[in-house]
Structures are given as structure tokens and as C-alpha cells.
């Protein structure tokens, strides 16, 4: 089971809190380190001052000075350095002078002598519970036999500094913790306030019901960061509104289309049962009912076909289709109907072959031709033109007739859509033919469209050509069909 992600407020507050805490910790460590280094440098300066004073005193002391006078002179030399401790000894370890306090002899044995005290060579030494910062320095002197170099162990107590740093450390981290908590709380409040537009948008979205799909969120009232989200939501609501409208129209259309045959069946059955009839009359009523059943069965079949198309379940069986041959067969099929309406059929262009499902392509062309014949005035001709360009085959079905208004052209491929508001068209099908044609063409990766100008309406579809290998004949043709064998047209 997947865990639910933490809220944006928690994640953002935690992230900012971690950053603030890290910054404050680094800042506190830097301050503490800086103070500690300052104390070290201060102690080093103190030790160097003592060493310089002792160096000067030793350089000016006469070799024959008595020991008591020597000790008094050395003690007076550093009288201004109250916190300093030192010990002077010869190279063989004999102590010439040592200040009162802890013994520095062990430090002399454990630390290598240097010429100058620096922060890099100073040592921290703990003697008798006291912490010292010390160094061992060798200096020349006339004191002692043969004026041998002397060793000076110089030290200063740092307990005061350590206690100060300990208190500063405690106070600093307590202050850091308080500041971090305050910063995290302030961040949480800021994030909560920053998310207020999201909560407001959520409240507005909750108010939208199925009967309010026309409502749109105002892009001018949201922060720039949420503009893209709100625009995407408005687009989604627009699609849902169109889908709901389409579903509503579809429900009304299908109820209307089914009501007519069902009413006819009910009326004919009631009439048949109203009085006794002979066998031939019952047979005629059953034939009439069968026509209504056929009409409903074809409508249900078409609706199932469109449902498959909506769910991308149409799987064309691709093969090479000769559009010229298919259109000629359809001309023969519609010959009787076209002759009855005094409509001529022309096929122009050059032979074209495409890759597609032959039965689906035939059904599309049949729907387009039947519409063209239906709306062509008597004495005029329907023209089908075949062309190729950019690896696409183009089929144009042109018929003279009334102009289709622009507002209808954009919806002419919608299912059950008809130009007349009454939707009373006996014998003209259920209004699904063009919707089926569009679904088939799109399933083949093609396009279909319509345009209507003064004097003619043109339906044009384009489909991929057969790949190189099946050559197209370069010659063109013009074929006219004026006389047909009688047959019933497919609607």
C-alpha cells in the first residue's frame, strides 16, 4: 500500500526549517570558532610579550650576578603580566628561576622548543586542575656557565576563557534553538498564508455542479504561479461541459430516433389487434414491423460502432485498396437511386491506391455519396475527384446544392446532428453516417472535412498512400455514369 505523500505545507516548512537551522548552526559555530581563535591569539600575544621581556632581561643581566639578585630581577621583569607563569632552565635541566604555581618541568620535557610562539605551535596543558596555554622557547643568555642557551617555559591560565566559551556555547545554542523554532513557526504561517489562494480555488471548484459547468475560474484573481493550473482546470471544465452537452443531446436524439419506430410498431400492433383480419393483412403488418426493426437494429449497430471508435477499439485490417474500383462499384450500387432523382455521377482524377480496411473505406465513401446524391438538385451531377500530394490520397465529393451555414459545418460530423431543427426526415437514416465516416478516417490516420460555397458543397478526406512498390498509374481519367442498374441505396 502506497503511503500518502506529506502535505505541501509540511514539506515546505520542513525544507525551509532545515535550511534555517543549518544556517544558524553554521553561523553559531563560526562565531564560537572566531571567539575561540581570538582568545588563542590573545594568549599567544601575551606569551610572546613575556618571552620578549625575559629575552631582554636575560640579555642585560651580568654573568656574575648573585642567584638571589637574578631571581628578583626576573620576577620584576614580568611584574606587569599577572597571569603569566614561566620557568627558566639551562640546557642540562637546572632550573634558574620559576614562578610560583604549578610546576612547568613536565611541559618542558614534553614540548619541543621553538624560537617564536605562534598559534600553530602553542600547546594546551592541564596541571593540577588548571588549564594552561604554554610554549617552550630557547633564548641566548650570558647567565650560566659558558653562556649556554636557556630554555624558557612560558604559560598562561586559560580557565577564564574556557568558562566563558562554555557559557557562550550554551547560551548560543539555546538562542539558536529558540530562533530556529521561531523561524520555523513563522515559515509555517507564511506557507499557510501562501496557500490561501489554493484553498480559495478549492472552495470555488467545490461549488461547481453539473448544472454549472459554464462557470470558469478568473485567471486575474490568482497568483502567477497558479495561472497555468487554473487555465488547465478551465480547459478541463470546458471539455466536460462539451461532453455533458453532447451526452444530453445524444440522449435526446436517441430517444427521439427510437420513439418514432417504437410508436409505429405500437400503433400498427394496436390497429392489428383492434379487429380480426385475414392472413395477408397480418403478413403486411409484420413486414411493416420488420422494416422498423431493421431501422432500429441499424441504429444500434451504428451506435456500437461509434462506441468502439470512441474507445479506440476500431482495428482496421489494412490492405491495398483501389479507390477507383471502390467508387465505380458504389456508382453502380447507387445507380437506380441516382437515376430516379435525375442525378449524374462523375469520377475524375487518376487511379489511387491506399492502405486501409476495404469494408470501412467503402462504408465511408458510401455515406458521403448517399449524402451528396440526396442533396443534389435534379439535373445536376455529383463529382468525385481523386488526387495525390505529399504521400496522401485525397478524395473530394462535390455536389451542387444549398449552402451549409458556417455554424453548421463545424458540427456536421456530430452524431445525430441535422441542419433542420425539426429532425423530421423520413427515410434519411438516423444522422450517424458522417460521424461514422469521421471515425473510420481518423482510425486510418487520415483527415476529413467539409466546405460549402455558393453553388456547391465539398467533402474532402485524405488518407496515406500505398508505400512505394505499388505504383500509381500516371494517367488520368474521366468516367461518367449516366445510366445505372436499379438498386436500393445504402443510407
Q: Is-contact 329 364, C-beta < 8 A?
A: no
Q: What is the pLDDT of residues 375-394, one digit of tens each?
A: 899 999 999 999 998 888 99
Tell me the C-alpha distance between 422 and 463, whole Å. 35
Using the predicted structure, report yes or no on whether residue 300 has a pLDDT greater than 70. yes
3-state secondary structure 2-14: CCCCCCHHHHHHH
Q: What is the pLDDT of residues 54-69, one digit of tens each?
A: 888 777 777 777 777 7
Tell me the C-alpha distance between 150 and 136, whole Å. 10
C-alpha cell at 484: 445505372
The pairs formed by 195-198 with CB atoms below 8 angstroms and a separation of 24 or more are: 195/8, 195/9, 197/222, 197/223, 197/226, 198/226
Using the predicted structure, report yes or no on whether residue 282 has a pLDDT greater than 50. yes
Closest CA to 352 of 381, 326, 382: 326
Given pLDDT bands bounded at 50, 70 and 90, which one contains residue 430?
A: low
- 342 vs 64 pLDDT, higher one: 342
- 430 vs 74 pLDDT, higher one: 74
Amino acid at each position: 500500500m502506497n503511503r500518502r505523500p506529506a502535505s505541501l505545507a509540511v514539506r515546505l516548512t520542513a525544507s525551509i526549517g532545515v535550511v534555517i537551522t543549518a544556517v544558524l548552526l553554521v553561523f553559531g559555530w563560526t562565531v564560537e570558532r572566531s571567539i575561540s581563535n581570538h582568545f588563542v591569539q590573545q594568549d599567544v600575544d601575551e606569551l610572546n610579550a613575556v618571552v620578549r621581556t625575559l629575552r631582554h632581561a636575560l640579555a642585560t643581566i651580568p654573568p656574575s650576578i648573585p642567584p638571589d639578585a637574578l631571581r628578583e630581577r626576573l620576577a620584576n621583569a614580568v611584574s606587569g603580566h599577572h597571569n603569566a607563569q614561566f620557568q627558566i632552565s639551562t640546557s642540562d635541566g637546572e632550573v634558574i628561576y620559576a614562578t610560583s604555581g604549578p610546576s612547568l618541568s613536565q611541559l618542558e620535557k614534553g614540548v619541543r622548543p621553538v624560537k617564536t610562539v605562534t598559534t600553530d605551535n602553542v600547546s594546551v596543558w592541564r596541571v593540577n586542575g588548571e588549564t594552561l596555554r604554554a610554549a617552550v622557547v630557547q633564548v641566548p643568555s650570558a647567565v650560566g656557565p659558558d653562556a649556554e642557551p636557556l630554555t624558557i617555559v612560558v604559560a598562561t591560565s586559560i580557565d577564564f576563557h574556557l568558562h566563558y566559551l562554555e557559557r557562550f556555547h550554551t547560551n548560543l545554542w539555546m538562542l539558536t534553538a529558540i530562533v530556529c523554532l521561531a523561524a520555523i513557526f513563522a515559515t509555517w504561517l507564511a506557507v499557510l498564508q501562501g496557500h490561501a489562494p489554493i484553498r480559495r480555488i478549492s472552495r470555488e471548484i467545490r461549488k461547481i455542479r453539473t448544472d454549472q459547468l459554464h462557470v470558469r475560474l478568473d485567471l486575474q484573481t490568482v497568483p502567477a504561479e497558479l495561472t497555468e493550473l487554473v487555465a488547465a482546470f478551465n480547459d478541463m471544465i470546458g471539455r466536460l461541459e462539451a461532453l455533458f452537452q453532447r451526452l444530453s443531446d445524444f440522449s435526446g436524439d436517441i430517444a427521439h430516433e427510437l420513439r418514432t419506430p417504437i410508436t409505429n410498431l405500437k400503433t400498427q400492433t394496436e390497429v392489428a389487434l383492434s379487429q380480426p383480419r385475414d392472413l395477408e393483412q397480418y403478413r403486411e403488418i409484420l413486414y411493416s414491423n420488420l422494416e422498423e426493426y431493421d431501422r432500429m437494429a441499424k441504429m444500434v449497430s451504428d451506435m456500437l460502432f461509434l462506441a468502439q471508435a470512441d474507445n479506440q477499439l476500431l482495428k482496421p485490417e489494412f490492405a491495398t485498396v483501389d479507390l477507383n474500383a471502390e467508387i465505380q462499384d458504389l456508382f453502380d450500387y447507387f445507380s437506380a437511386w441516382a437515376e430516379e432523382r435525375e442525378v449524374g455521377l462523375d469520377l475524375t482524377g487518376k487511379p489511387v491506391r491506399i492502405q486501409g480496411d476495404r469494408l470501412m473505406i467503402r462504408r465511408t465513401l458510401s455515406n458521403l455519396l448517399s449524402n451528396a446524391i440526396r442533396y443534389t438538385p435534379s439535373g445536376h451531377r455529383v463529382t468525385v475527384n481523386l488526387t495525390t500530394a505529399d504521400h496522401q490520397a485525397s478524395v473530394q465529393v462535390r455536389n451542387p446544392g444549398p449552402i451549409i451555414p458556417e455554424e453548421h459545418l463545424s458540427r456536421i460530423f456530430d452524431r445525430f446532428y441535422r441542419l433542420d431543427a425539426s429532425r423530421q426526415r423520413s427515410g434519411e437514416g438516423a444522422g450517424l453516417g458522417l460521424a461514422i465516416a469521421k471515425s473510420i478516417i481518423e482510425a486510418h490516420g487520415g483527415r476529413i472535412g467539409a466546405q460549402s460555397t455558393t453553388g456547391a458543397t465539398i467533402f474532402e478526406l485524405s488518407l496515406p498512400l500505398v508505400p512505394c512498390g505499388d505504383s500509381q498509374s500516371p494517367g488520368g481519367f474521366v468516367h461518367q455514369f449516366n445510366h445505372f442498374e436499379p438498386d436500393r441505396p445504402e443510407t
